[in-house]
Amino acid sequence: MYSTTGFTRGQIDRLVIMIRDLQNAGYSLAYPPSLGLRKSIIITMTYLRRNHTQADLADRYATSQPTISRTIAAMTPPSPTPPPTGSPPPTTSTPTSP
């Protein structure tokens, strides 16, 4: 497992427990129920670490590519929104000498 996810089985187990605790506290995470939380974590970590295609992961885990796509989307935070095109770059303040 470590070679595909970068996590040992024990670390995956602890991650599952932490996420379940968050869910019990009211945090919503919409991973596909057909895969379950543990497999969703493993698929997402494999995708991020090994850059496998979604189709390859779908074959490997006997599911569809759209299910893999939904899993990865549910388990990863959204990307920050880039500024609109043509916007001035953010300014940085530099100290001025008196």
The alpha helices in 51-92, defined as continuous H runs, are 54-60, 65-75
What gap in Å lies between CA 86 and CA 83, rounded to an integer?
A: 8
DSSP state of 35: T
Residue 18 phi, psi (nearest 5): -60, -45
Q: Read off the pLDDT band of 1 (50, 70, 90).
A: confident
Residue 13 CA, chain-centre distance (Å), reads 17
Distance CA 23, CA 29 (A): 7
- 2 close to 8: Cβ distance less than 8 angstroms: yes
Q: Find the largest Cα–Cα distance for the chain.
A: 68
* pLDDT for 98: 57
| Model confidence at 92: pLDDT above 70 | no
Output the pLDDT for position 66: 96
Q: Which helix (H) or strand (E) holds 11?
A: helix 9-24
